[in-house]
Structure 1
Amino acid sequence: MADATSSTPSAAAALSTAKAFAAHPGAAKAPSKVDAAAEDFEAVFLTQMVQTMFEGLGEDGPLGGGSTGSDAYRSMLADQYGRSIAASGGVGLAAHVRAELLALQTGTATP
């Protein structure tokens, strides 16, 4: 799979900006908030993907039943799966979101 930095110049610029911003001594608080926002974004994305997966399941098994309660349970389980996957490294989306957020903050983002 190709690296995003080799495919688009804006991604490479955003990643270098992110590295420079992280190295800045006065930027101690911003990266943690940016990291949290990027991870939250990835968790929401992954939750949506897991919920789509659950839609294909039948009414049998621990998630079955077809009742309102089982639908709520599926939703909560999908949310926890999404958050767990994102917290354990995710699929790499958070790194790109973080780089773009930092590029937007520094004004180097490309439209």
Structure 2
Amino acid sequence: MLPLATFAASAALQVGKSIAGNIAASVTKTADDTTKAADAKARKASTDFESMFLEQSLDRVAQSDGTEGPLGENGTGGGVYRSMLTKEYATQVVKSGGVGIADQVYREMMKMQEAARAA
């Protein structure tokens, strides 16, 4: 009976290791997925911030341009069109690589997250 008990204990040990390995892999995968999701959210927030900043900057430039040119008078229609145009300009600048604001904001967000985890 002793050899049978040894065999059963060995089998139980292997099953336990397999279950523990599966649980560890699942936890690691979940942590990786959570990290990737948080990273993607931080990246999106930083690019959205850069886009908003550029939109505000370009809006100020467009307002100082006067009433001449393709936008026409500064009435309601011209204001709406100018707003849409500056938003699209800002979006395209960010899509083409931006001016570096998003990267800096992203790095600062990551530093703040690491500091919060360490505390």
User: TM-score, normalising length from structure 1?
Assistant: 0.70
Answer yes or no: is 1:58 the counterpart of 2:95.
Answer: no
CA distance in 2, matches of 1:97, 1:70: 33
Structure with max Cα Rg: 2
1:74 counterpart residue number: 82
Answer yes or no: is 1:30 the counterpart of 2:49.
Answer: no
Extract structure 1 runs of 4+ deviating beyond 6 A. Answer: none
Unaligned runs of 5+ in 2: 1-30
CA distance in 2, matches of 1:32, 1:87: 16
The alignment covers a number of residue pairs equal to 84
CA distance in 1, matches of 2:84, 2:54: 13
CA distance in 2, matches of 1:57, 1:31: 39
Which structure ranks higher in relative contact order (CA pairs < 8 Å, sequence separation ≥ 6)? 1
2:4 counterpart residue number: none
CA distance in 1, matches of 2:98, 2:106: 13
- The Cα shift of 1:58 comes to 2.1
CA distance in 2, matches of 1:70, 1:89: 29
Q: Show CA shifts across 1:48-84 (max 9, x none).
A: 1101110121212211222111011101111111111
Alignment identity in percent?
A: 37
Alignment of 1:77-92 (within 5 A): 77-92=85-100
Answer yes or no: is 1:102 the counterpart of 2:110.
Answer: yes
SS at match of 1:107: helix
- The Cα shift of 1:41 comes to 0.4
Aligned-CA RMSD value = 1.4
CA distance in 1, matches of 2:66, 2:104: 35
> Is the deviation greater in 80-89 or in 25-34?
25-34
